[in-house]
Structure 1
């Protein structure tokens, strides 16, 4: 698991110790910005199929300012919600880093708003295939993105 927030990683470590201590697999918690760490794990990326699950901040700045409840704006870290003007800054960074980090087949699952899926699908039409996964929420979508080889 990676995160840019050291505080989030501390909570994740507590959860691993509390809930996953009996699992006989290695769980790495890495403080990094998206895939910046990936060059250190080249052997993993090149020899195995990769599935990435990302729930990055995707709320546009103006939407957060106008619609987020006061208690969220006051007490929650803004960086956990806001993804720039259109909410896609971190998803673009992640998609742009992927070809460098991952040479094998890669599948990603993202959470974002419907309109954002359309924007990314158009921007990355030559390098990624985007497919919506059915959900019960009318405006939030789970997106499956695969690398076009």
Structure 2
């Protein structure tokens, strides 16, 4: 697939704004592997091949296992994720498809069992940031493979 537009070159200010969001997420104190799980799961839902390729590579570099990466799309049926990770994956799905059911009070409380209010906001920012990146990549025609 041919890219439609190089968003970084055409509008560097928009790109820099996204990088600031990414920096916030990376400096939030959230576990780096957890952030990659969020990025992969949201990218699966959104169908973003570019981001899937990038973040599976990044997860592997952080020591994430192949099994956990492969099972992410069926995390509910797998015992390889912690209760905290499961809560975050459910939140990732709820926020990514927010118009389906929103974020229920039950889900909010489930996440809060593992994360404080500050961390909850950081999780929301991580989910929203990857959703923005997915939408940029898809709408500008970015495709896999990702090459650093």
Hey, which of these two has a bigger chunk of strand by percent?
1
User: How would you bin the TM-score normalised by the shorter chain?
Assistant: under 0.3
Hey, which of these two has a bigger chunk of helix by percent?
2
Higher relative contact order (CA 8 A, sep 6+): 2
Instruction: Mark the structure with the bigger radius of gyration.
Output: 1
Output the TM-score relative to the length of structure 1: 0.26
